[in-house]
Structure 1
Amino acid sequence: MIVDVHAHWGPWFFSMEVGAVAVNLAVMDRYGIDLAVVSATEAVVYDVRSGNRAMARVLETTDRFLGYLTVNPRRLADAERDLAELLPSGRFVGVKIHTDYSGSPVASARTRDALALVAAYDLPALVHTWDTTPLDLAQACADIPGLRVIAGHMGANGWRYAVEAANSVDRLWLEPCFSHTEAGRFAAVAAAVDPRRLLFGTDATLIDPAAAYGAVLAADLDPVTAERVAWRNAAELFRLDI
């Protein structure tokens, strides 16, 4: 069993032949990924309301996707309406916040308000992190009761800050996808944090899962930790019956 906690559905603004559900499923099959938690590219980079509704329609077509409802911290009224309207379907299990595309840094008042809203709905949030921003996300966890967050890309080139962040609070998880593969990066993180804080994420279909898959395999995890990374931690975080 493998659960990908960082995936996307829909076309990107790059020259890539992605967008169809069939492409997502073919990529998942190629790497043995059973279940993916996906956000709509349209919601992340363009129009959050139409993208979330498109995502809701796609979730009705396959049981191999679960959804992230995208929240733009600059449009919290829309976020509250989307949460009220779309969560009852039972197909959305978390929230996606992309701090760069929305121009809302993790430490900004807007994003802190968005994270407080997410915590009020008792949903985990996948938040884009880079450089030192995992530390800002850890501070948000410390300040907002009940907030559960995934540091997307585990800080990317700032993975050492992600280690510090994950060790400072007990409601922050890390996933490894990164467009610039760095040898030994995931192995070093896995050796330094509680194995219950590790997840598997690929950034598909923007990035081929081979990058994250190879990083995890190269870490040579013990069987218990490998199972936790592959699916068990995700099942616990998203409260999945799998």
Structure 2
Amino acid sequence: MIIDVHAHWGPWFFTMDVATANLATMDRYGIDRAIVSATEAVIYDAPAGNRALAAYLETQERLLGYVTVNPRRLREGRADLRAYLPGGRFVGVKIHTDYTGSPTGSAALRDALAEVAEAGVPALVHTWGASVLDLAQACLDTPGLRVIAGHMGADGFRYAIEAANACDRLYLEPCWSHAPAGRIAEVAAAVDPGQLLFGTDATLIDPSSAYGAVAAARLDRETAERVAWRNAADLFGLDVTDR
């Protein structure tokens, strides 16, 4: 069983071959379920992208959705949270700090994360470098908030270790367009295994990148199972009895 907690649906603004074969790509790597955000929502128009994804999810059993929220347009975000979370096909919130110009230390992001905490779902937040430390502080300052540090800081993965150890409601997922040797193993050895998730950044990046990086870490059986699906199932409250 594999659950991908960082995936996308819809075309990008540049040519990406993997963008055209979401389910086929999942099958190739044995990914049973993926939680996706609409690329249109992430990079251009959150309400339009969320609306399109909602319609698509009605046709797909293996995909679940993130409601994408732009912290600079929080009124729209609140409306979308009310519209889509009750239906059960959306199980979390996606916030891209760079595309929205809402850094992890900004008041706008803090306000958006407060809405996420009130909604009672996890948020996947884009992190890079030391920004993951600001996200950990926001999590500590917001009661009940659960956040996933997208890319676990990328080249700042050692900051991600510090962040995860500071806040037990912060989770790490590994996708990145680079794969430095030993990165996953170093993180897994230094944080609570219950805070580790699997994410690929498909359809932007082929899942082989994250899959290979995690496999190369040679995690013990229990940790590997936690990373592959068990932690995600617990975090998002997913029924995996049919696995």
Distance across 2 between alignment mates of 1:208 and 1:2: 15
Partner of 1:185: 183
CA contact 1:100–1:128 (8 Å) conserved in 2: yes
Residue pair 1:10, 1:18 contacting (<8 A) in 2 also: no
Q: CA-to-partner distance for each residue in 1:124-143, whole Å, 9 max, x for gaps?
A: 00000000011001101110
Question: Are the aligned partners of 2:185 and 2:217 in contact in 1 as well (CA < 8 Å)?
Answer: yes
Residue identity in the other structure for 1:109: A
1:70-85 matched pairs, under 5 angstroms:
70-85=68-83
1:167-206 CA distance string (max 9 Å, x none) = 0111000000001111110110001000000000000010
What TM-score do you get using the length of structure 2 for normalisation? 0.97
The yes-or-no answer on 1:134 pairing with 2:138 is no
Q: Distance between the aligned counterparts of 1:150 and 1:87, measured in 2?
A: 18
Aligned counterparts of 2:9 and 2:76: Cα–Cα separation in 1: 21
Who is 2:6 aligned against?
Answer: 6
Q: Say which is worse superposed, 9-18 or 113-122, in terms of deviation.
A: 9-18
- d(CA) in 2 for partners of 1:174 and 1:39? 18
Does the Cα contact within 8 Å between 2:127 and 2:153 map onto a contact in 1?
A: yes
**Alpha-carbon shift at residue 220 of structure 1 (Å):** 0.5
Opposite residue 164 of structure 2, the aligned amino acid is A
State the partner residue of 2:153: 155
2:19 and 2:193 map into 1 onto residues whose CA distance is 33
Q: Secondary structure at the match of 2:92?
A: strand
Q: CA deviation at 1:17?
A: 3.5
1:197 to 195, 207, 211: 195
Q: Is the 8 A contact 1:9 1:19 kept in 2?
A: yes
1:19 and 1:191 mapped to 2: Cα distance? 33
Who is 2:63 aligned against? 65
Given residue 172 of structure 1, which amino acid in structure 2 is its aligned partner?
Answer: L
Q: How does 1:119-130 map to 2 (within 5 A)?
A: 119-130=117-128
For 2:239, the equivalent position in structure 1 comes to: 241
Q: RMSD between aligned alpha carbons?
A: 0.8
Cα distance in structure 1, aligned partners of 2:151 and 2:144: 22
Runs of 5+ unmatched residues, structure 1: none
Quick check: 1:95–1:124 contact (8 Å CA) kept in 2? yes
| Equivalent in 14, 38, 41 of residue 40 of structure 1 | 38
Instruction: Tell me if the contact between 1:127 and 1:149 (Cα under 8 Å) persists in the aligned partners.
Output: yes
CA offset at residue 120 of structure 1? 0.4
The whole-number CA distance in structure 1 between the counterparts of 2:114 and 2:6 is 21
The match for 1:144 among 129, 142, 145 is 142
Structure 2 Cα separation of the partners of residues 18 and 218 of structure 1: 23
Q: More deviation in 38-47 or 8-17?
A: 8-17
**1:58 corresponds to which letter in structure 2?**
Y
CA distance in 2 between counterparts of 1:213 and 1:19 reads 17
**Range moving further from structure 2, 158-167 or 179-188:** 179-188
Q: TM-score, normalised by structure 1?
A: 0.98
Using the TM superposition, give the Cα deviation of residue 18 of structure 1 relative to its aligned residue in structure 2, in angstroms: 4.8
Structure 2 Cα separation of the partners of residues 70 and 210 of structure 1: 25
Q: Does the aligned pair in 2 maintain the 1:11–1:18 contact within 8 Å? A: no
Match for residue 165 of structure 1 among 163, 166, 177: 163
SS of the residue aligned with 2:65? strand
1:88 CA displacement:
2.0
Query: Displacement of 1:156 after TM fit?
Result: 0.2
Spell out the pairing of 1:208-219 with structure 2 (5 A cutoff): 208-219=206-217
**Paired amino acid for 1:193:** V
